Amino acid sequence: MLLSQFKGNSRIKNIKYLIYYLEMTSFFKIGLLSPKLRINKIKNLSSLHQLNSEEGFTLVELIVVVMMIGVLSSIAIPQFMTAADKAKQKEATGIVAALVKAATAYQTEYGALPTTAGEIEEYAKFQKCPASAGNLVQDGGKVCKAAIPVALASTDTSYTSPSGHYLVEFDGETDGRFRVKANPNGVPYATNGAAVIGCYNPTTAVSEVFEYTMKSSDKGNNKPYRDC
């Protein structure tokens, strides 16, 4: 008990502790202190201990805090990166869903599937990152540098999304189905992001929009068209 009181104290405080300790033990044993004086001595000793405990952190405490920060960082940073990629994927989901809906409307009216952007844009307006040199820059993936996106050309069947994060492609000529896919664009987002696939089958009247997950097995570029 005595050693624990002395540990980490200055020399002056240790001397005071020693004096109080000797006084307490000697006077208590021979019964020379009155009860009131004994209480005062105990209060003084407790106040010294409290003062010492408020001086700072021990080395063990600091090590524990550093370890906790390290553990939290290892959990939080990957979660933040996944959330950022998921937010980018929502742009692709909106584009794919709109293309599928427009293709469905076109087929209902004309009895055929659209094959170009010009046909699709009768029902929805789509924009892209301008194809001019220097508009796509590498910044955690490809990012569209142009401040204002432009309308699709009437003959477009593939284009870069307004943000630059996705390469969007569609096909209305194969197997009587309309298919669209949006794959992550650029490096390293092509590796870390996740694709969005959509399709419409007029024979069965089934349409689908499918988001790949952010799990490692689903991440990456060049996901194929999906049947429905």
pLDDT in tens, 212-221: 988 888 887 7
pLDDT for the residue 58: 82
Q: Are residues 46 and 99 in the same domain?
A: no
pLDDT in tens, 9-27: 555 555 555 555 555 555 4
**Residues 104, 179 share a domain:** yes
* 32 and 123, same domain (yes or no): no
In a domain, 190, yes or no: yes
State whether 127 and 174 are in the same domain. Answer: yes
- Considering the domain architecture, whether residues 108 and 45 belong to the same structural domain is answered as no
Structural domain span for residue 124: 88-211
Number of structural domains in the chain: 2
Do residues 95 and 207 share a domain? yes
Same domain? For 93 and 188 the reply is: yes
Q: Is residue 66 part of a domain?
A: no
**Domain assignment of residue 15, yes or no:** yes
State which of 58-67, 146-155, 196-205 shows the largest mean pLDDT: 196-205
Q: What is the DSSP string of the chain?
A: -HHHHHTT--HHHHHHHHHHHHHHHHHHHHT-S-HHHHHHHHHHHHHHHHHHHTS---HHHHHHHHHHHHHHHHHHHHHHHHHHHHHHHHHHHHHHHHHHHHHHHHHHHHSS---SHHHHTTT---EE---STTSEEESSSEEE--SS-EEPPTT-SEEE-TTSSEEEEEESSSTT-EEEEEEE-STTHHHHS--EEEEEETTTTEEEEEE--SSTTT-SS-PPP---
Q: Is residue 83 in a domain?
A: no
What pLDDT digit, counting tens, does each position of 175-184 carry?
899 999 999 8
Out of 77-86, 121-130, 196-205, least confident range: 77-86
Inside any domain, residue 217: no
How confident is the model over 97-155, as pLDDT tens digits? 999 999 999 999 999 999 999 999 888 889 998 877 667 765 555 678 777 888 999 99
Same domain, 11 and 94: no
- pLDDT for 69: 81
Same domain, 105 and 186: yes
